[in-house]
Structure formats: structure tokens, C-alpha cells
Amino acid sequence: IFLKELENCIENPELLARCFLKRECQRKLDHKLSLDAYLLKPVQRITKYQLLLKEMLKCSKNSEGTAELEEALATVLDIIKSANDSMHQIAITGYEGDVNELGKLLMQGSFNVWTDHKKGHNKVKDLARFKPMQRHLFLYTKMLLFCKKREENTDGHEKTASYSFKNSLKMSTVGITENVKGDNKKFEIWYNGREEVYIIQVTTVLYF
């Protein structure tokens, strides 16, 4: 492999020094594989790339190449978000439609949810007295999905999450009230002239 790298410098001898420096860094780190080999690992390694880029940015502030490093970090973070969102979406069960037709996934995360139905037997006068439901919400441009998170142990004793579909609201038909009763952790979603009201409280980090 090293010989091939040297041969590539025949037409550009000025790159020869870089070739030896790269090999010396690899030797000091006691890495058996070249940097290219590590970059070809599965997508799970992408999370480590962001740490590497962040450390490189700390050491190269206001220097040549900083803009490219910042752009690379932004790209990696976007890839991580897309991969994370995809893993959650494919775990949705019981939804009869196609999530790919719901538009862009804007946000997903776990919430406490209280419901108030003006029609039927489940009208709630004071939601604070009732225990909230734990729901994982997926907010798309066209639809809001309410799911219940379930965790199961796999053969490797690792828990895998799935999201059982419970309800959905078309975003074109809902209204939103921010900061319910002065609580900046709660917001209100109402539907069909407030016949259905959902008070939602943030419980975890949201993924935008």
C-alpha cells in the first residue's frame, strides 16, 4: 500500500513529504490500517467523525481551511440527524399510510400528553389532576403522528424501540397555543374548533 502511495507521487514529487508524514503519523498511533480504511467503516462510525471534526476546529481557529471544516461538520451533523430520523421512522408500526407521503420530518421526540375531548365521556375539566400519557410524536409538514414507544429485548440483550401508532392530526386543520398557563414547557394543539385539545409537555431532547 505504501509503495502505491509513493508511485502516485511520481508526477507530483511535492506530495512526497506529505506521504511520509502520513505514514509516520499512522506508525506513532499504532494504527494497522490506513485512514482510508477507517473511513470505509459502516455508517455507525459517522458519529465519531463529528468528534474528530470538532477537535480539528478547536486547533485551527482563524486559519486556512476553517471554513471547509465548519462546512464538513455541518454536513456530518445533517447526515447523523437523517440517519437517526430514518431509524425511528422505520420503527413505526400500525400506521396504514406511507410516512414518505407526509412530507419532511421536522421533529420527533417523547412528550407527556393530556387530552380533552368535548364530545363523549372523556371530557377533562382539570388536566393537571390526571396522569399524562407518554407519547412519541413525529411532526411532519403534513401530519402529526402520536405513537406509543415500546421496548423489547433482543437476542443480544439490547433493547430495541418500536413506535405503535395511536393517532394522527392533519397540520392544515390544527391550531397551536404556546406556553399553556405560563408554562414554557407546555404547548397546546387543538383541532376542529377545540373539540379535541392536546396539551403537550416536553420530556426529552427534541430532534429537529
120 Cβ contact partners less than 8 Å away, ≥ 6 residues apart: none
In a domain, 208, yes or no: no
Q: Note whether 81 and 102 are same-domain residues.
A: no
pLDDT given at position 35: 56
Q: Note whether 69 and 104 are same-domain residues.
A: no
Q: Do you know the residue count of the chain?
A: 208
Q: Note whether 72 and 144 are same-domain residues.
A: no
Q: Please state whether beta strands 159-170 and 105-117 pair in parallel, antiparallel, or not at all (unpaired).
A: unpaired
Q: Note whether 115 and 31 are same-domain residues.
A: no
pLDDT given at position 1: 46
Which residues form the domain of 72?
2-85
In a domain, 52, yes or no: yes
pLDDT given at position 36: 58
> Under a CB-based contact definition with an 8 Å cutoff, are residues 100 and 89 in contact?
no
Cα→Cα distances 165→23, 67, 85, 197, Å: 53, 43, 16, 19
The secondary structure of 129-158 as a DSSP string is GSPPEEEEEEEESSEEEEEEEEEEE-TTS-
**Looking at 63, 85, 107, which one is the last position of a domain?**
85
**Looking at 85, 106, 136, which one is the last position of a domain?**
85
What percent of the chain shows pLDDT beyond 90? 23
Q: Does the pLDDT at position 147 exceed 70?
A: yes
**Counting beta carbons within 10 angstroms of the beta carbon of residue 37, is it exposed (0 to 12), middle (13 to 18) or buried (19 or more)?**
exposed
Q: Which of 35-49, 91-105, 121-135 has the highest mean pLDDT?
A: 91-105
Q: Does the pLDDT at position 166 exceed 80?
A: yes
Of 68 and 24, the structure prediction assigns the larger pLDDT to 68
Q: What are phi and psi of 21, to 5 degrees?
A: -65, -40
Tens of pLDDT, residue by residue over 61-79, are 777 778 888 888 888 888 8
Q: Does the pLDDT at position 141 exceed 80?
A: yes
**Looking at 40, 69, 85, which one is the last position of a domain?**
85
CATH code of the domain in which 182 resides: 2.30.29.30
Q: What are phi and psi of 8, to 5 degrees?
A: -70, -15
Q: Note whether 147 and 56 are same-domain residues.
A: no
Measured from the Cβ of residue 114, the count of other Cβ atoms closer than 10 Å reads 21
